[in-house]
Amino acid sequence: MSNEAVIIDVLRTPSGRGKPGGALDGIHPADLLATVLHELVNRNNLDPALIDDVIGGCVSQAGEQGNNVTRTALLSAGFPHTVPGTTIDRQCGSSQQAATFAAQAVMSGNADVVIACGVESMSRVPLGSTAGGQDPFGTLMHERYPDGLVNQGVSAELINQKWNLGRDALDNYAARSHRLAAAAAERGDFGGEIVAVTRPDGSVFSEDETIRPGTSHARLAGLRPAYRTDALAARFPKLGWHVTAGNSSPLTDGASATLIMSAKRAAQLGLNPRARFHSFTVVGSDPMLMLTGVIPATQRILARAGLGIDDIDAYEINEAFASVPLAWLRETGADPDCLNPRGGAIALGHALGSSGTRLLGTLLNHLEMTGGRWGLQAMCEGGGMANATLIERL
């Protein structure tokens, strides 16, 4: 029988706007992640020498996020040099995949204590930096897709068209995200998961900068389409071009981390597990639509677990764009009230490599506050993929 992989704790920084002038733009991404790692072990009175591995997610692994930023961060956090670390890229699901790999290492008996984490400083290492101005696709890829693939914003437009969602639905959903996140922040719901960050000027940043409490459908309706160009409009003449900056997730800076270990080691250390990992899956999907993998990933993980959608108490489906969770709702028949009940990435930000463990912490805290048992997390990913994770609160 495999070991049980349990979640001891999950922490994150507040979300900063991922552009110059954002609250976290003055902090090196390795230092940002180190802040969370240091607090994670301190809060749980854990000797970091006991950690078997640190697995981190990061999408733009270039410049300040290059050279294995996870290893740099753990050393910056003061961990012994005997603790290894690696950085992975499954696009937006990078830290969710890191948590999967960490849990699987524990379940297989190859590790007892693993930290899964992630970081992205989109203000300091802009999205697309890793390509270095070159074409990442080779000849064979261009032969398979001769008309070329599209960016995620156009994929979100294609999803909007396929499911006939419409601009009003996108804007209403985006307003809902900000409304729920603002209410959760006002109640102090995020207090248990946020690590305050001291900035270079000595000021302390402790609240999400990306939440806009006054967001309304009326304000969002005045925004222009973000991804329409004349060339794309000619290629896709049936698109309505309804995706805007307001119904998309913002560029974001942030870091997050979760402490995972075997139930046996947790008992030995006197730590109380908060949840256990039950099931995982990852799927590929059409790279043109790109962001729809959350649908088959959900269907597969529920079948694997022997559960139905109505058995799940809360779902965190990443809000890269409003059309993604709305299409997911249409296909799964899930209860809308259980979807991203504290708001999602449209309000809380999408620091790419960090978002997976950020969602995990928000989901776990919600289950604990509401008494829910089952939580489902699913993340759409660049290139047409999706991760899904099922946790059970203990």
**pLDDT score, position 264:** 97
- Verify whether residue 92 is a known catalytic residue: yes
- Is 92 part of any domain? yes
> Which of 92, 178, 242, 338 is flagged as catalytic?
92
Rounded mean pLDDT of 175-204?
Answer: 98
In which band, very low, low, confident or very high, does the pLDDT at 254 lie, cut at 50, 70 and 90?
very high
- Verify whether residue 350 is a known catalytic residue: yes
- Is 123 part of any domain? yes
- Is 215 part of any domain? no
**pLDDT score, position 309:** 98
If you average pLDDT over every residue of the chain, what do you get? 97
**pLDDT score, position 2:** 75
Tens of pLDDT, residue by residue over 1-29, are 479 999 999 999 999 999 999 999 999 99
**pLDDT score, position 82:** 98
381 pLDDT above the threshold of 50: yes
141 pLDDT above the threshold of 70: yes
- Domain harbouring 58, CATH code: 3.40.47.10
Minimum mean pLDDT range among 1-15, 175-189, 232-246, 249-263:
1-15
Tens of pLDDT, residue by residue over 62-82, are 999 999 999 999 999 999 999
Question: pTM of this prediction?
Answer: 0.98
Rounded mean pLDDT of 191-203?
Answer: 97
Q: Can you give the residue range of the structural domain that contains 23? A: 5-127+250-275
**pLDDT score, position 158:** 98
- Is 192 part of any domain? no
* % of the chain residues with pLDDT over 70: 100
138 pLDDT above the threshold of 80: yes
- Verify whether residue 380 is a known catalytic residue: yes
* % of the chain residues with pLDDT over 90: 99
> Which of 58, 117, 338, 380 is flagged as catalytic?
380
> Which of 38, 178, 278, 350 is flagged as catalytic?
350
In three state form, how does the secondary structure of the chain look? CCCCEEEEEEEECCCEECCCCCCCCCCCHHHHHHHHHHHHHHHCCCCHHHCCEEEEECCCCCHHHCCCHHHHHHHHCCCCCCCCEEEECECECHHHHHHHHHHHHHHCCCCCEEEEEEEEECCCCCCCHHHCCCCCCCHHHHHHCCCCCCCHHHHHHHHHHHCCCCHHHHHHHHHHHHHHHHHHHHHCCCCCCECCEECCCCCEECCCCCCCCCCCHHHHHCCCECCCCHHHHHHCCCCCCCCECCCECCEEEEEEEEEEEEHHHHHHHCCCCCEEEEEEEEEECCCCCCCCCHHHHHHHHHHHHCCCHHHCCEEEECCCECHHHHHHHHHHCCCHHHECCCCCHHHHCECHHHHHHHHHHHHHHHHHHHCCCEEEEEEEECCCEEEEEEEEEC
- Is 220 part of any domain? no
Number of domains in the chain: 1
- Is 100 part of any domain? yes
- Is 36 part of any domain? yes
**pLDDT score, position 1:** 44
- Is 360 part of any domain? no
